[in-house]
A and B are shown apart, each in its own frame.
Chain A
């Protein structure tokens, strides 16, 4: 599924260390950073579940980001990206080269011939950017495992949660967010049904008597009492249905 056959252990087999590093730099910076962005997003979503009350806007934006990455990785099988020279930054530094991820997709395709690349091994002009199926001659024999010519099914050793997400993707087609949102779902549903029933009712609100209150700020007890009153009413409704 992960078409590029991202086997990290292959790095260890590399005799020509310099060549490997150059290979990493030129080919995989983008995919490694995309991977780390995906990992980070998944962690953030998990954190959401642990928070007192998750910020829905933030969760939705993160989930959409995960979806985008997933879509791109799905189509990715035919992409061969040549990451531009990362200006000497260590490519395995997770978040240092933020520049690359922040660049537009078309730039990733190597439309900018990176200076000092030796063979000038870029993908070619921008017009050739649609998913390319032809395999281009790899610069180094070993770097072929990083390119689409390599085995398409090689998952390598993945982050466990990512595996689960992708399995979910393959079997069911709605979004991979199903599992992630499932915890968030049920309380909202229940409360929602209850509230819909409550909102239009002629039931007097808890604060009808406020007008006659002495001019003093209400203590916390008054709001808690009204909550308890609501709770009783809500339990009644739930039990009846």
Chain B
């Protein structure tokens, strides 16, 4: 799988009004879920490949849409709680139904998505419209039979995990035991059992006794893909802590601490802000973690804590613009990062609807653009280039022309194929590699 493969657009979907806030493939890649700022979840399903059209790979169509979260009001603080979906995580499929976790700032919900293609008909006590019959008119016994109906996909909330977070939830992660999951907010991480909604274990708490002493927050957290006792969490100071839940009930003391020493020659007032980690992801193998800070993506080996093994520059040309980006708040944008199925390529977003892929083996990288103009069906994505100075070539775009309102914060990669989903504001694009 190389990042220099050509990608073509196979879906472009525009949400009714809202900014897409999370994108996630399920474990087989058959389903893709998106959450948006309006609390809605839209699930896409990949078409089964038909024998007739074997040259056309399965495309994604809308499968289910439902309202996951509604705006709420916190009476104690007199503040509104946004319905925006911060994260969606799928559970592995164990029966015919699909299960996913979706969360806003305060509440995590477990949703069951299932198909119904039969309905019972012929009730004894009810008529066809469901009204009760007069018992006096019933003279025979009838057993309802299941008859086929048009396929209906329904989403039902099976669990609601509420009231466990004072601060805003930024991450959820399903454990490899499939019985527990964690939710992380700015200062605490809680461990839940899927069956129990009225209790959670607090496993990390970095809230200082005196809030005025607060200088660091939790920015992301994730369970190890194979070891159900291990998880990592990242901080606003650019550090990653790996914790082992077997060590103690409260994992305030980390097992490993990953931090790159600061380069003193590069220090500025913005050094800390740009070192804040916005996303942390284990590789599928579980041997590496990837972190995203404002200007770079870094790959760390779990066995080496003192520095990353790889650093990739996402948009280093922004380094001289940090003050302006601080003024317009862009410096606080939280970009996510993803691994491909084989952990050989990593992808992350940037501004101007650009997103970047880095091939860890060949060390090649590419910049692509997700926009309506460039994403006609089956059109091949053209690599883009930002001109950092000197003479601008024909197809290049200069740094000063970049549109900072068009940011790609959320992307997803199919677990085994070269299919990627990119969220650009309220548009979702799915690209797959070109098959000759």
Chain A interface residues (CB < 8 Å from chain B): 33-34, 37, 40, 44, 52-53, 55-58, 60-61, 63-65, 68-69, 95, 98-99, 101-106, 174-175, 177-178, 181-182, 184-185, 187-192, 194-195, 198-201, 203-208, 210-211, 213, 215-218, 220, 223-224, 226-227, 230-231, 234
Contact = CB atoms under 8 A, between A and B. Distances in A.
B157 A60 contact: no
Given A61-B272, A95-B327, A199-B200, A217 B155 contact: yes
Nearest to B321: A98
B219 A195 contact: no
B320 A187 contact: no
Contact of A177 (B167, B212, B265, B272): B212
Given A57-B236, A65-B269, A102-B320, 7 more contacts: A34-B269, A40-B327, A53-B79, A53-B105, A187-B77, A195-B166, A220-B70
Looking at A61, A68, A178, which has the most chain B CB atoms within 10 Å of its CB? Answer: A61
A226 B162 contact: yes
A207 B273 contact: no
B64 to A, nearest CB: 11
Contacts of B105: 53
B72 A64 contact: no
Nearest to B170: A57
Contacts of A99: 320
A211 B70 CA distance: 20
A217 B76 contact: no
A174 B269 CA distance: 21
Contact residues of A: prevailing secondary structure: helix
B73 interface: yes
B76 A199 contact: no
Contacts of A201: 198
B364 interface: no
A126 to B, nearest CB: 10
A65 B273 CA distance: 8
Nearest to B105: A53
Contact of B75 (A185, A206, A231): A231
Interface residues of B, number: 65
Contacts of A61: 236, 272-273, 276, 332
Interface string B240-251: 000000000000
Contact of B272 (A58, A65, A231, A234): A65
A210 B266 CA distance: 55
B385 interface: no
B338 to A, nearest CB: 21
18 contacts: A37-B326, A52-B79, A52-B82, A60-B214, A98-B320, A101-B269, A101-B323, A181-B211, A189-B211, A191-B76, A199-B200, A200-B199, A203-B198, A205-B163, A211-B158, A213-B156, A216-B156, A231-B75
Contacts of B67: 217
B198 A205 contact: yes
Interface string B260-293: 0000111111101100100000000000000000
Nearest to A106: B265
Contacts, number: 167
Contacts of A203: 198
Interface string B135-164: 000000000000000000011111110111
Contact of B323 (A98, A104, A188, A207): A98
B217 A56 contact: yes
B163 A230 contact: yes
B395 interface: no
Nearest to A188: B166
Contacts of A57: 186, 217, 219, 236, 276, 332
A185 B81 CA distance: 18
Task: Please provide the 10 A-B residue pairs with the shortest distance between their CB atoms, ordered closest to farther.
Answer: A205-B198, A98-B323, A220-B70, A207-B160, A56-B186, A187-B77, A215-B156, A53-B79, A205-B197, A178-B212
Nearest to A218: B157
Given A56-B186, A60-B216, A205-B198, A102 B158 contact: no
B211 A105 contact: no
Contacts of A95: 323-324, 327
Nearest to A178: B212
A25 B319 CA distance: 22
B281 to A, nearest CB: 18
B156 A105 contact: no
Interface in B205-256: 207, 211-217, 219, 236
Given A55-B332, A57-B276, A200-B199, A69 B269 contact: yes
A166 to B, nearest CB: 17
Contacts of B269: 34, 37, 65, 68-69, 101
B268 to A, nearest CB: 5
A64 B272 contact: yes
Contacts of A189: 211
B197 A101 contact: no
A164 to B, nearest CB: 16
Nearest to B78: A187
A40 B324 CA distance: 11
Contacts of A185: 211-212
Give the most central of A57, A206, A230: most B CB within 10 Å: A57
B100 to A, nearest CB: 14
Contacts of B157: 210, 213, 217-218
A104 B198 contact: no
Contact of B162 (A60, A200, A205): A205
